Chain A
């Protein structure tokens, strides 16, 4: 097992730069998820760590060894591909043992390792089948098994669940988490699915346009997004962003006017802001609740008409249109009984709000993470 250190790693294709100075440290045994919209460079970064793409500039260390110039096989890595990339003309056993065979492991050792991995993944009854005779989930396991038998220092996963149906994806996700615990292996996992990222990752690295936007634990990203992009990317439904204007700013908090007659004090470090600036406040849908009628300066309140209700069972998603055209989403408890066209008021505690300046950078929240 190994730690990974990326120092100022970048990648260009000709004159277009796709990755800009990536700095990232991955601790031994950590599962780091690279997440971002398609085209953000996450897969390229993974392929560079793997050695399938050349590193244009910067330094990549695996287990304190610079591996920039090493071919994939000498980096001690194993990769699981999105399409599984199983050799179609070989049996499951052949697929799993191929790498070992190339490295000259003798037959007995090969068989033992393949069998052990197959048992761990519950595919030991499929060893003599060919990939085309397997279901998607089984192929996925074979691909993971092929990675395990090589006993790599570092596992790389490139969107391994995106070809599975929804139910199987959840199941395999849980198994991957279990596998990570059992192997205590360092893993880098690429996905565009934020639920996978949140549930699997010890740490999540959010990428956008070739740059790391924020790296942190799932809750850190959820509660303290560094900028508007991270706030929008993490959390479903997407965070509500409401324009506002600052009135008074200090390191202890900011007073903003959200709309006519709604002024609220938000406890964030606003030392960098000046009064009269346009900002955006972020409100998570789950923090917007039906107003109880008590007027308080610690809440921000919106009135409007329900334009759509999505009933999810345990909760409802209420889509609200305010008088000034502002659209909001709220997650209300499942027992709420409301109808389309109802006029309601929603409110959120000021302590739960996020503030983003004109550039989209977040002001640090002062509320403690619990």
Chain B
């Protein structure tokens, strides 16, 4: 009887695992479908896109005309650079400032510590876009409209609260004795942060990096209102130029969108490797 029970239990476990995989697989499919569609159609002729939007590119419909158009356009290259600069600078600033703020908030008991943490938590709850008008007015006053600086500043403000929140949790888990040992070793507070604490929370930093960078790269709103000039357009905004009022160059739009996925994919690969390394390093004791 116990063997039957064990078999039933094993069957149950297999059933559960199957359910989990089914759910995850289904979700994956759901998320990947639009991306696959964009990718597929970017390799088709215009006629091919409209005749059979869900079909694979055939001999007759295969075409890379969209990529030719996009890569041949110098402006698009410039937009890529803009996007990379904005995302990169924002990301570095958010991670650095976020980690330092997290360290300060968890390690030092100064007056107003709680209040500051609460203020940052508020930043997670209230979407920054609510302040778009005020932000635009401020940028006009500072003469920062149509500069990448404006975007970087806004994105730092947007990303910091969550970064501080997540990193605080991880900084708090660094054992007190480790910091004490460093202080006995005569290590200054900045060095303790950079050489002891930061290496230990690297997996958390990678996680925050992934969470932070995707919305910045994909953002259309702030580039549209703060930096719509030709010089400062980001890829997400720039692609819109192929979308016309009367005719849309679908080949170019889809090709540009496909290309826009690439840099973020590379960055994700870099961080996720850190992420996995961090997790396994902790597991193998």
Binding site for B on A (CB under 8 A): 47, 50-52, 71-74, 77-79, 81-83, 85-89, 98-99, 102-103, 132, 146, 150
Query: Across the interface, do B284 and A79 meet the contact criterion of CB distance under 8 Å?
Result: no
Q: Does B186 sit within 8 A of A, measured CB to CB?
A: yes
Q: How far is the CA of A244 from the CA of B285 in the complex (A)?
A: 57
Q: How far is the CA of A132 from the CA of B284 in the complex (A)?
A: 8
Query: Across the interface, do A85 and B186 meet the contact criterion of CB distance under 8 Å?
Result: no
Q: Which residue of A lies closest to B179 (CB)?
A: A85
Q: How far is the CA of A47 from the CA of B179 in the complex (A)?
A: 13
- List the B side residues contacting A98 at CB < 8 Å: 182, 185, 187
Query: Across the interface, do A85 and B175 meet the contact criterion of CB distance under 8 Å?
Result: yes
- List the A side residues contacting B51 at CB < 8 Å: none
Binding site for A on B (CB under 8 A): 175, 177-178, 180-188, 191, 196, 199-200, 281, 284-285
- List the A side residues contacting B281 at CB < 8 Å: 132
Q: How far is the CA of A89 from the CA of B201 in the complex (A)?
A: 11
Query: Across the interface, do B185 and A71 meet the contact criterion of CB distance under 8 Å?
Result: no
| A and B contact pairs by CB, cutoff 8 A, 9 listed | A52-B184, A73-B183, A73-B186, A79-B180, A87-B178, A99-B185, A99-B186, A102-B188, A103-B186
Query: Across the interface, do A82 and B185 meet the contact criterion of CB distance under 8 Å?
Result: no
Q: Which residue of A lies closest to B199 (CB)?
A: A89
With known contacts A71-B183, A78-B184, A89-B200, A102–B177 Cβ distance under 8 A: no
Query: Across the interface, do B185 and A85 meet the contact criterion of CB distance under 8 Å?
Result: no
With known contacts A85-B177, A88-B200, A132-B284, A79–B187 Cβ distance under 8 A: no
- List the A side residues contacting B182 at CB < 8 Å: 87, 98
User: How far does the Cβ of A119 sit from chain B's closest Cβ, in whole Å?
Assistant: 21
With known contacts A87-B196, A89-B199, A132-B284, A79–B178 Cβ distance under 8 A: no
With known contacts A83-B175, A89-B199, A132-B285, A102–B180 Cβ distance under 8 A: no
Q: How far is the CA of A74 from the CA of B187 in the complex (A)?
A: 11
Query: Across the interface, do A79 and B184 meet the contact criterion of CB distance under 8 Å?
Result: yes
Query: Across the interface, do A52 and B175 meet the contact criterion of CB distance under 8 Å?
Result: no
Query: Across the interface, do B187 and A85 meet the contact criterion of CB distance under 8 Å?
Result: no
- List the B side residues contacting A86 at CB < 8 Å: 181
Query: Across the interface, do A81 and B187 meet the contact criterion of CB distance under 8 Å?
Result: no
- List the B side residues contacting A79 at CB < 8 Å: 180-181, 184
Query: Across the interface, do A150 and B177 meet the contact criterion of CB distance under 8 Å?
Result: no
Among B184, B199, B200, B285, contact of A73 (Cβ-Cβ < 8 Å): B184
Q: How far is the CA of A103 from the CA of B180 in the complex (A)?
A: 17
Among A47, A74, A83, A102, contact of B185 (Cβ-Cβ < 8 Å): A102
User: How far does the Cβ of A7 sit from chain B's closest Cβ, in whole Å?
Assistant: 23
- List the A side residues contacting B196 at CB < 8 Å: 87
Q: How far is the CA of A103 from the CA of B186 in the complex (A)?
A: 7
